[in-house]
Amino acid sequence: MTVTLRDIADEAGVSVMTVSNVMNGKSARVSAKTIERVRGIADRLGYVPNIAARSLAATRSHVIAALVPVGPDDDLLVSPHTVAVIGGIERHLRKHGYHVLLRGIEHEDEIAQAVRGWSLDGAILVEFDDAKIDRIRIDEVPLVAIDSYSANPRTVGVRTDDHRGGWLAGARLAEAGHRRLLFAGPARRASGVVAQRWDGFRSACVAAGIPAEHLVVEEALTTFQDGRELGQRLRDDHPDVTAVFATADILAVGLMAGIADAGGSVPGDLSVIGFDDLDVSGYTTPALTTIAQDMPAKVAEASRIILDEIERGEGPRVPVTLGVRLVERGSVAPPASRR
Amino acid sequence: MTVTLRDIADEAGVSVMTVSNVMNGKSARVSAKTIERVRGIADRLGYVPNIAARSLAATRSHVIAALVPVGPDDDLLVSPHTVAVIGGIERHLRKHGYHVLLRGIEHEDEIAQAVRGWSLDGAILVEFDDAKIDRIRIDEVPLVAIDSYSANPRTVGVRTDDHRGGWLAGARLAEAGHRRLLFAGPARRASGVVAQRWDGFRSACVAAGIPAEHLVVEEALTTFQDGRELGQRLRDDHPDVTAVFATADILAVGLMAGIADAGGSVPGDLSVIGFDDLDVSGYTTPALTTIAQDMPAKVAEASRIILDEIERGEGPRVPVTLGVRLVERGSVAPPASRR
DNA sequence: CCGGGTTGGTTTAGCGATACACCAACCGCG
DNA sequence: CGCGGTTGGTGTATCGCTAAACCAACCCGG
């Protein structure tokens, strides 16, 4: 049933190697006439190369893994942001003739297992904590880490300019006149991304003359629901705060809902600024003012880097940082006087 | 560098086959003592089986593809719903020792290519149009089609009870007193899912005594933005309509934003009911009343079916339909008198 | 003490492709 | 005419693993 190189070779009266050469475009070794004949037969028979056989025999597998951290139990790739990344990567790599293995990683050891078990040509690590990236000891293939600030020389980081993003958020809120600010996000220590956003945010606030002790932090927040709960208890827990920088739009969206639950209004009582510029962020009430990442560029860069390294050997392994911009919508306003 | 069965065999002083048997749990052929010794050596050496070699030699590859339709140019897996499906499937299959190949499909021929090129053990087709499913001619592996109503006997459909979902939506709006309704969604003819929702909706309306000519349809709508644009022109285009059933929450969310853009209010001027119950649907203003699908069950069923067919041979190939329920939130109210 | 069934392995033969080395013509040319 | 260099191939040895068949002990009942 399945058509192999040998079938084509027999029919064309040439050797298997010649067919292989034709199929791989090594035209130097084969005459134009032969190429044409072999191609024709292959098409007619409906030849499809066997990926497993090719990986086994060749030095390259044409398989690149997209690795995503997951919890041991039920987690998957929930965040809309993660998703867009995976989708974009799949498309880029497919266009270049590579296949994408999608794999949730519970423990870092599984990364090495995947690399070796599949003879991967490379792997893209999506949104792993820096600490995990730090621990990686894999030299045999290129590794691109999206949203990583790890200094591990075995990986190349591709990320947005989170520091500047944080700065823009802080500056925007300060400029609107806010003096008591809340920074809400995942744990800063685990994630370089969040640490950068915090640092940029803090710097902007300080530069605007806001004393450091006017900055409050709420950490370990990652979901819509976390944001909502924060919003509900915001007035009680932080009565002075007049503006919140949420380091992810899902958090910000949840937050706005929570504030509404508690009878507050945005931006009347509280200003909110997010980060990511998800699709949905333009559809809330009010629409969310946020820091936009250039997602398409991020996946394009990650794909380009890994393909370059695979096909042209060692690149310079220099991290890439992409621009951000403030998207002004309706969730930031000057502070009301609060009791 | 890479540890093979032969390395272990040499060190243990047994044949390669014995090691292979140990690794695959064929304990019938090997003594407990040998098993233990081989296991120990394998662990110590850090053995990782080579997937390509195994697929090539064995009759099974342990690879299952998640196939997603994409446009030729830039599309990827954007819909939050699609995403949740892929993520869930990855987890289920991984837990059972399978690997997931993620692949965008531009043309149906690529499905057969993927199946044969990878010697896939099976494939899950995510949200393909029924017409494409109809055209599939692949018998060698189990194919599960998520959200399909195709009668193609080569595939097993797993879907939500879209008809009942549509009915619930129609009944809810009718019960609230609406008489002029708009049905908004993707093209009904391409998608069995949408066709079912429409049919259920229409039946409920008719059963509630709403004349068929009071039902208006807007088709070919799929994105947040499509929804928004509809919302913006709703009053002008359909001045009589007091309630909308949007067949996807992203549409409904966009719609509410569009209505607000045009100065309308939900549910004061217009009631809106969605379908899917996305995360975000609880965070809009007002929160969206919608028909919830049981997504976890959907991916669990799809995974279970394909694994059953792979491991226990031909199952009965009977489609599975999962329940829906109405989630009452704040976007439906009785109609206001409109001029 | 012999025939037949376990138990615990081993041997042989690929799966379908590629890498690498080798080779037969032919060609131009001093 | 003999030699080196292209052009257009071919043969063979793997890659790492598994299916299937085979085999040597041992065990046990009659």
Q: What percent of chain B has pLDDT over 70?
A: 97
Residue B56 touches partner A, C-beta closer than 8 Å: yes
Q: What number is the average pLDDT over the span B290-308?
A: 95
- Residue B103 and residue A162: Cα distance in Å, rounded? 31
Chain B residues close to A51, C-beta within 8 Å: 52, 117-118
Contact list, A56 vs chain B (CB under 8 Å): 50, 52-53, 56
Choose from B50, B56, B76 for mutation: most chain A CBs within 10 A: B76
Q: Does A119 touch chain B (CB under 8 A)?
A: yes
* Dist. CA A99–CA A64, nearest whole Å: 6
The rounded percent of chain A whose pLDDT value lies above 90 is 87
- pLDDT(A73) > 80: no
Q: What is the mean pLDDT of residues A232-257?
A: 96
- Is a pLDDT exceeding 80 seen at residue A221? yes
> What pLDDT does residue A338 have?
43
Q: What is the mean pLDDT of residues B221-227?
A: 95
* Among the ranges given (A148-152, B290-294, B334-338), the one the predictor scored with the smallest mean pLDDT: B334-338
Instruction: Using pLDDT thresholds of 50, 70 and 90, give the confidence band for residue A72.
Output: confident
Label the pairing between strands B324-327 and B289-293.
antiparallel
Q: What's the pLDDT score for residue B74?
A: 64
Summary mean pLDDT of chain A? 93
Contacts A260 to B, Cβ<8 Å: 285
The answer to whether residue B28 scores a pLDDT higher than 90 is no
| Dihedral in degrees, nearest 10, Cα atoms A302, A304, A307, A311 | -150
Q: Measure, in angstroms, how far nucleotide C9 C1' is from residue A157 CA.
A: 51
Render pLDDT for A264-290 as a digit per residue (tens, 0 to 9).
999 999 999 999 999 999 999 999 999
Asked if B56 lies within 8 A of A52 by C-beta distance, the reply is: yes
B90-117 pLDDT, tens digit each: 999 999 999 999 999 999 999 999 999 9
Q: Is the CB of A45 under 7 A from strand C?
A: no
Mean pLDDT of A150-154: 94
Is the shortest CB-to-strand distance from B51 to strand C under 7 Å? no
Strand order in the sheet with B181-184: B215-218, B181-184, B243-246, B271-276, B289-293, B324-327
Mean pLDDT of chain B: 93
Reply yes or no on whether the pLDDT at A339 is more than 50. no
Angstrom distance (rounded) from CA A152 to CA B78: 32
- Tokens 């809106």 correspond to what residue? B272
Whether a cis peptide bond, with omega within 30° of 0, leads into A49 is no
Number of A–B residue contacts, CB under 8 Å? 147
- What was the pLDDT predicted at A77? 63
Residue A264 has what pLDDT?
95
Residue A317 has pLDDT above 90, yes or no: no
Model confidence at A78: pLDDT above 70? no
Q: What is the pLDDT of residue B339?
A: 35
Q: What confidence tens digit (pLDDT) does each residue in B135-155 have?
A: 999 998 999 999 999 999 999
pLDDT band at A302 (very low <50, low <70, confident <90, very high): very high
Q: SS in 3 state form for chain A?
A: CCCCHHHHHHHHCCCHHHHHHHHCCCHHHCCHHHHHHHHHHHHHHCCCCCHHHHHHHCCCCCEEEEEEECCCCCCCCCCHHHHHHHHHHHHHHHHCCCEEEEEEECCCHHHHHHHHHCCCCEEEEECCCHHHHHCCCCCCCCEEEECCCCCCCCEEEEEECHHHHHHHHHHHHHHCCCCCEEEECCCCCCCHHHHHHHHHHHHHHHHCCCCHHHEEEECCCCCHHHHHHHHHHHHHHCCCCCEEEECCHHHHHHHHHHHHHCCCCCCCCCEEEEEECCHHHHCCCCCCEEEEECHHHHHHHHHHHHHHHHHHCCCCCCCEEECEEEECCCCCCCCCCCC
pLDDT at B76: 67
pLDDT score at A74: 63
Please tell me the distance in Å from B84's CA to the nearest CA on chain A. 7
Mean pLDDT of A66-77: 80
Share of chain A above pLDDT 70, in %: 97
* pLDDT reported for residue B280: 93
Q: Poorest-confidence range of A232-246, B63-77, B191-205, B245-259?
A: B63-77
Q: Give the least confident one: A30-34, B79-83, B298-302.
A: B79-83
With cut-offs at 50, 70 and 90, classify the pLDDT of residue B78. Answer: low
pLDDT at B75: 61
CA gap B330, A68 in Å, rounded: 36
Tell me what the mean pLDDT of segment A305-316 comes to: 85
